Amino acid sequence: MNVDFEHLREFYARGASVREIFNLGVRYRAEGRKPIDLSIGNPDVKPPPAYYRALREVVKECEHSSENLHRYMPNAGFPEVRRRVAAELAVELDVPFEPRHVMITAGAANALDIVIATLLWRREQEPGVAGKAGEAGEQRDTTPEALLVAPYFPEYETLIRGQHARCRAVAATADYRLDLEAIEAAIGPATRLLVLNSPNNPTGAVYTAEELSALADLLIRKRDELGTAVVVLEDSPYHRIVFGEHQFAPMVKHYPYTVFVSSLSKSLGLAGERIGYLAAHPQLAAGEESSAVFSAALSAALRMRVVNAPALQQRVLARIGIGPHVDPREYERRAVALGQILAPLGFRFAYPQGGFYLFAEIPERFQDENEFRAVMHAGEDPLLYVPGTVFGGEAYRRSVRLSACVPEAEIQRAGAKLSSALA
């Protein structure tokens, strides 16, 4: 008798869909076909020379030090790195962060995971502590809820459901802005968390300071009504990839119950090196004691997962800080080129204001996305993209996410494929 893993299939399949398409590309290549892969957002702009200079210095320092500089460190990161990140974020986001509010993480994904695990943890999850079957009054549903603005990055759902919490999706407006009325209506006594993502994956929306300030007013009103505040998890790994006249506006500046998350994955093209950070607003955990408990819990969650963020990358961060970044215009040019291909072919979309992606509705001549996919995957040059349903279900069944984070030649190949298939 083999071990049965069938029960894992449905749960882990959710967030895996983007990877599956990536793997499909690997299969097509093995078959000798030449896929045009606009599925995954794998940053292809290289880090600037300052990064490599610092990396060389760090390697030299480690090699020649009498000490072993590759050892364990405090789980939340080297103190000097937390100091530097806190100081830079305080200026950039206009929030008085101190080093104790900042943690260095293995990318934004690790930060999201530990914040979600910490905020949604509850005693009732533990067997033998509560929920004793059959006892009157123990059947109360205490399941916490997290709100997601749809369409949304599917990993949020996996992380939240992994904590046995419920996700409630609140659709964005038709032009992918925040629907404040819908958010207000969705908040109830079980709501613990609202995940906000700007610049947005998949829509490319960058929320304005006005939108975020109105959202903050609403959340404060709800706090007063419900007696407890909803925490905003501000996931902004694309915050340096913003186009044209648009500007990144941070929610953490407007709303004190916010944890800001970002990474160097996109800003420096270091996605494979796993280095990122979080900063919890100083007023989020009010008082010394509460603040100490919250950071100890986050540190423990980090320790349980990756122990600490990579030492070498942290030492680079200590030298260059979080300021240096790739030129967002490189990505903007590609997004515009892709948009210029799609618009005349009948796709409906808003040009992205930042990030890596373009989220478009397929032309009306296709009955559904299956029909579109059959055409796109046919031939020697299958065009790979992520179906819209991955980002929030059936409401997005006529949408597709195309990554503009590929070399310009790939966008031109996509153009040729689309034009000949849709002519």
The per-residue DSSP string of 38-86 comes to -SS----SPPPHHHHHHHHHHHHHHHH-SS-TTS---TT--HHHHHHHH
Q: Where are the beta strands (DSSP E) in 182-322?
A: 191-197, 231-235, 258-263, 276-280
Q: How far is the CB of 276 from ligand PLP (least distance, A)?
A: 5
Q: How far is the CB of 341 from ligand PLP (least distance, A)?
A: 23
Compute the distance between CA of residue 299 and CA of residue 74 in angstroms, rounded to an integer.
9
Name every residue whose Cβ is closer than 8 Å to that of residue 327 and which is 6 or more positions away in sequence.
45
H/E segment holding residue 386:
strand 386-387
CB nearer ligand PLP, residue 154 or residue 381 = 154
Q: Which is nearer to ligand PLP, 163 or 291 (CB)?
A: 163
Nearer to ligand PLP, 28 or 153 (CB): 153
Handedness of CA 280, 286, 292, 297 (dihedral sign): negative
Q: Which is nearer to ligand PLP, 197 or 353 (CB)?
A: 197
**Residues of this chain that bind ligand PLP (CB under 6 A):** 41, 107-109, 153, 197, 201, 235, 237, 263, 265, 271, 276
Q: 109 or 115, CB closer to ligand PLP?
A: 109
* Minimum CB distance to ligand PLP, residue 91 (Å): 22
C-beta closer to ligand PLP: residue 157 or 381: 157
Q: Which is nearer to ligand PLP, 106 or 411 (CB)?
A: 106
Residue with tokens 């000097």: 80
The three-state secondary structure class of 399 is strand
C-alpha–C-alpha distance, residues 256 and 258, integer Å:
5
Smaller CB separation from ligand PLP, 271 or 418: 271
Residue 206 C-beta: closest distance to ligand PLP, Å: 13
> Closest separation between CB of residue 376 and ligand PLP, Å?
22
Query: Rounded distance, CA 131 to CA 182, Å?
Result: 33
* Min dist. Cβ of residue 42 to ligand PLP (A): 9
Taking CB atoms, the residue at the shortest distance from ligand PLP is 107
The H-or-E segment that residue 22 falls in is helix 9-30
What are the phi and psi torsion angles at 400 (to 5°)?
-140, 145
Q: How far is CA 393 from CA 168, 171, 390, 396, in A?
A: 12, 11, 6, 6
Closest approach of ligand PLP to the CB of residue 320, in Å: 17
Residue 8 CB, nearest approach to ligand PLP (Å):
22
